[in-house]
């Protein structure tokens, strides 16, 4: 279908524009992501086999001890870093078109981020279609290390470390997300209430204070329509968020909901539609299970999820003005 007037991600394309080309070769065996400034191994499966989570962390530590590819700052990527590679319009693999990566395993890839709802589990990204769910740390998944630092991506919110049994442990030397805490720091407070919504001071997005724009579970078309009605009623540029915008709310230190402690939102539900269709199957769209923080998909025809409207980002976040950025 044509995008015009649909209110979908493909029409509005919110967020930072991707550089062209997105990736540069960064020396032997390495790729630089020009969007995030992160450095990835060109092989998306450099060890050649899956590992349990604790062994994955140990393998990356060994890389650093021997300065693999001339670097000693390799780490298992956190949830935000690995998800930054996902192209939701692509499939098999769900990576940007023309990417330079080799040996891409179209299955689960580990992150260094523990699932707050089940600390014996860690977040994984499925590179076949782009979903993000947690798996037991004793299970096996692919290891794709990252290096370098960038401030485009925010921190995940995780500040504690846990072993494979889910017990809290000291972070020192673990290589976990709770130790490295890579990414841009969150402002304090994270959210500010304004007359018509809640400003996220990290992203500049404005969210409805009531997190139930649809007034109940709806199908995908119903979620888009609920945001469109709000736009028509208020004259403000309310819309259904992309999955990247929706996931930006996730605080990986929290669950039920996975929102920052002390957030000002009301009527928070378990799961929400995004405006982002699935590149794997266009009859599905991405959703955020905000009770857990998981990114999944739902069939567009099924009234299973809620709508939560967003607008912006507002220039106030960057320049001191409060107008919507076109």
Cα 282 to Cα 1, 89, 106, 299: the distances in Å are: 10, 9, 19, 9
- Average pLDDT of the residues in 224-228: 98
> Using 50, 70 and 90 to split pLDDT, how confident is the model at 26?
confident
> Using 50, 70 and 90 to split pLDDT, how confident is the model at 206?
very high
Sheet of 39-41, strands arranged across = 23-25, 30-33, 39-41, 146-147
What is the pTM (predicted TM-score) of this model? 0.91
Average the pLDDT over each of 7-11, 16-20, 112-116, 253-257 and give the range with the smallest value: 7-11
Instruction: Tell how far CA 7 is from the center of its chain.
Output: 21
Q: What is the pLDDT of residue 322?
A: 31
Average the pLDDT over each of 9-13, 84-88, 89-93 and give the range with the smallest value: 9-13
- 292 has pLDDT over 50: yes
- Average pLDDT of the residues in 89-93: 94
Looking only at the bridges linking them, the beta strands covering 140-141 and 51-52 are antiparallel
Q: How high does pLDDT run on average in the chain?
A: 92
Separation of alpha carbons 133 and 150, rounded Å: 24
Token pair recorded at residue 20: 């062209």
- 317 has pLDDT over 80: no
- Average pLDDT of the residues in 258-271: 98
């Amino acid at each position: 279908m044509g995008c015009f007037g649909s209110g979908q991600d493909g029409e509005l394309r919110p967020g930072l524009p991707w550089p062209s080309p997105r990736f540069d070769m960064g020396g032997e065996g390495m790729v630089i992501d020009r969007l995030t400034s992160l450095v990835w191994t060109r092989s998306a499966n450099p060890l050649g086999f899956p590992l349990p989570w604790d062994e994955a962390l140990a393998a990356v530590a060994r890389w650093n001890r021997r300065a693999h590819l001339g670097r000693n700052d390799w780490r298992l990527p956190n949830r935000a870093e690995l998800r930054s590679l996902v192209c939701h319009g692509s499939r098999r693999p769900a990576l940007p078109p023309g990417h330079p990566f080799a040996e891409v395993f179209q299955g689960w890839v580990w992150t260094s981020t523990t699932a707050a709802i089940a600390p014996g589990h860690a977040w994984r990204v499925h590179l076949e279609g782009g979903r993000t769910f947690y798996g037991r740390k004793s299970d096996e998944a692919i290891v794709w290390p990252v290096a370098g630092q960038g401030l485009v991506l925010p921190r995940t919110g995780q500040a504690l470390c846990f072993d494979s049994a889910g017990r809290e442990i000291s972070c020192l030397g673990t290589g976990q997300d709770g130790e490295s805490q890579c990414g841009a720091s969150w402002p304090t407070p994270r959210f500010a209430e304004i007359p018509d919504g809640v400003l996220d001071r990290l992203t500049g997005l404005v969210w409805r204070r009531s997190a139930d724009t649809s007034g109940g579970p709806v199908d995908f078309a119903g979620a888009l329509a609920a945001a469109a009605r709000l736009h028509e009623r208020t004259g403000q540029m309310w819309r259904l968020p992309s999955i990247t915008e929706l996931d930006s709310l996730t605080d990986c230190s929290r669950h039920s909901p996975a929102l920052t402690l002390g957030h000002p939102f009301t009527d928070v539900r378990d799961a929400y539609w995004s405006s982002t269709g699935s590149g794997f199957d266009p009859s599905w769209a991405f959703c955020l299970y905000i009770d857990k923080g998981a990114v999944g998909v739902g069939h567009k025809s099924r009234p299973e999820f809620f709508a939560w409207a967003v607008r912006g980002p507002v220039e106030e976040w960057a320049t001191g003005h409060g107008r919507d950025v076109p």
